[in-house]
Amino acid sequence: MTRPLRARVQLHALTQNLARVRQLAPASRVMAVVKADGYGHGLGAVAAALADADAFGVTTIDEALVLRAALANARVVLLEGHFEGDELGVVVEHGFDLVVHQTRQVEELAALTAAPGLRVWLKVDTGMSRLGFAPAEVACHWQRLRDAPAVADDIVFMTHLACADDRDDPMTIGQQMRLTEARGEFPGACSIANSAGIVGWPDTHHEWVRPGIMLYGVSPFPGVTAARLGLAPAMALESRVIEVRSCRAGDSVGYGATFRCPEAMPVGVVAAGYGDGYPRHAPNGTPVLVDGQRVPLAGRVSMDMLTVDLRTRPHTRVGDAVELWGPGLPVAEVASAAGTIAYELLCGVAPRVPREYVR
Ligand SMILES: Cc1ncc(COP(=O)(O)O)c(C=O)c1O
Positive or negative: CA dihedral 178, 180, 185, 188: positive
CATH T-level assignment (fold) for domain 235-358: Lyase, Ornithine Decarboxylase; Chain A, domain 1 (2.40.37)
Residue 61 to residues 57, 95, 99, 160, 256: CA-CA distances in angstroms? Answer: 11, 12, 13, 21, 43
Is-catalytic flag, 255? yes
Q: What is the DSSP string of 93-111?
A: HHT-EEEE-SHHHHHHHHT
Q: Report the alpha-carbon distance of residue 7 to residue 330 in Å, rounded.
A: 14
In sign, the C-alpha dihedral spanning 350, 352, 353, 359 is positive
Cα–ligand 1 centroid distance for 31 (angstroms): 10
DSSP notation for 194-245: -HHHHHH-GGG-SSEE---GGGGT--SSTTS-TGGGT----EEEEEEEEEEE
Among 35, 123, 278, 343, the active-site one is: 35
Q: Calculate how far, in angstroms, residue 55's C-alpha sits from the geometric centre of ligand 1.
A: 13
Residue 32 has, within 13 A of its CA and on its CB side, a CA count of 29
How many angstroms separate the alpha carbon of residue 297 from the centre of ligand 1?
31
Ligand 1 pocket, 195 CB below 6 A? yes
C-alpha 128 to ligand 1 mean position (Å): 13
Return the DSSP state at 327: T
Told to judge if 123 belongs to the known catalytic residues of this protein, a careful annotator would answer no
Distance between CA atoms of residues 212 and 57, nearest Å: 9
Specify the pLDDT at position 356: 98
What percent of the chain is helix, strand and coil (3-state, nearest 5)? 30, 25, 45
Ligand 1: atom nearest CA of 214 is 11
Residue 200: CB within 6 Å of ligand 1?
Answer: no
Which segments of the chain belong to CATH 3.20.20.10? 10-223
Dist. CA 320 → ligand 1 center (Å): 37
- Using a 6 Å cutoff on CB, does residue 213 contact ligand 1? yes
Helix, strand, or coil here: 22?
A: helix
Catalytic residue among 39, 123, 216, 255: 255
Nearest atom of ligand 1 to the alpha carbon of 160: 1
Indicate whether residue 17 lines ligand 1 (CB < 6 A).
no
Q: Which residues of the chain have pLDDT under 70?
A: 1
CA–centroid distance for 164 within its chain: 16
Distance 317 CA to ligand 1 centre (A): 42
Q: Where in the chain is the domain with CATH 2.40.37.10?
A: 235-358
**Would strands 156-158 and 190-191 be described as parallel, antiparallel, or unpaired?**
parallel
CB 20 within 8 A of CB 214: yes
In order, the DSSP letters of 280-326 are: TTPPTT-EEEETTEEEEB-S---SS-EEEE-TT-TT--TT-EEEEEB
Does domain 10-223 fall under CATH 3.20.20.10? My reply is yes
Eight-class DSSP state of 124:
B
DSSP labels, 138-161: HHHHHHHHHH-TTB-S-PEEE---
pLDDT of residue 113: 85
Tell whether ligand 1 has an atom less than 6 A from the beta carbon of residue 160. Answer: yes
- Which pLDDT score is estimated for 267? 98
Q: Does ligand 1 lie within 6 Å of residue 79's CB atom?
A: yes
CB atoms under 10 Å from CB of 3, counted, come to 15
CA 13 to CA 129: how far, in whole Å? 34
Helix (H, G, I), strand (E, B) or coil at 129: coil
pLDDT of residue 39: 98
Q: Whose CA is nearest to atom 9 of ligand 1?
A: 212
Q: Which helix (H) or strand (E) holds 117?
A: none
pLDDT at 114: 75
